[in-house]
Amino acid sequence: MGKGSDDPKGAEPKGEGPGPEIVGVWPAAVWIIVGAGHYLNDPDHFAGWKGALYFVLGTGLVALVGGIASLSTRRTVAGIQERLLKEVRHRRDLTTWVIALGLRGLVGLGEAVLVTLLALSAVAMLG
C-alpha cells in the first residue's frame, strides 16, 4: 500500500475547495441578468433574431470563454494567496478564511463588472 492509502480522498491536491467547480455559471448568470433587464426595459429591442443571438449564442459563448477565464483567474489567485498566507501564517484560522473570502469576492466582482460591460456593448451593437 502506498502513502496515500490512509487518506480517503486519494490523490486530491490540498488547498482546493470542497468539490468540483462549476465553470461558466457566474459569467453566464450575469450575462442573462443584464439581458433580462434590457428586455424588460425595451422588449422590442430583443424581438426576433436579436434576442436569439444575444440569449442563445451569447450566453453559450460567455459561459465557455468566461468560465475558462474565470477558472484560470481563480486558480491563479488561490495559488498566490496560498503562498502569501504560508509566509505570514503557517496554519489556517479565522483570519486566513476572511482574507480568502475577501479575495474571492473581489475576483467575482471583477468578473461581474467585465461581463456586464461586455453585455452592455453587445446590446448596444444589436441596437
Tell me: the pLDDT tens digits for 69-106?
888 888 888 888 888 777 776 677 788 788 888 888 88
Ramachandran angles phi, psi of 11, nearest 5°: -95, 25
User: What pLDDT sits at residue 21?
Assistant: 64
- Whether residue 27 contacts residue 111, with contact meaning beta carbons closer than 8 Å, is answered with yes
pLDDT tier at 13, thresholds 50, 70, 90: very low
Percent of all residues in the chain with a pLDDT value above 90, rounded to a whole number: 12
- Whether residue 68 contacts residue 111, with contact meaning beta carbons closer than 8 Å, is answered with no
109 compared with 80, residue with greater pLDDT? 109
Query: Cα(84)–Cα(97) distance, rounded to whole angstroms?
Result: 13
User: What pLDDT sits at residue 10?
Assistant: 47
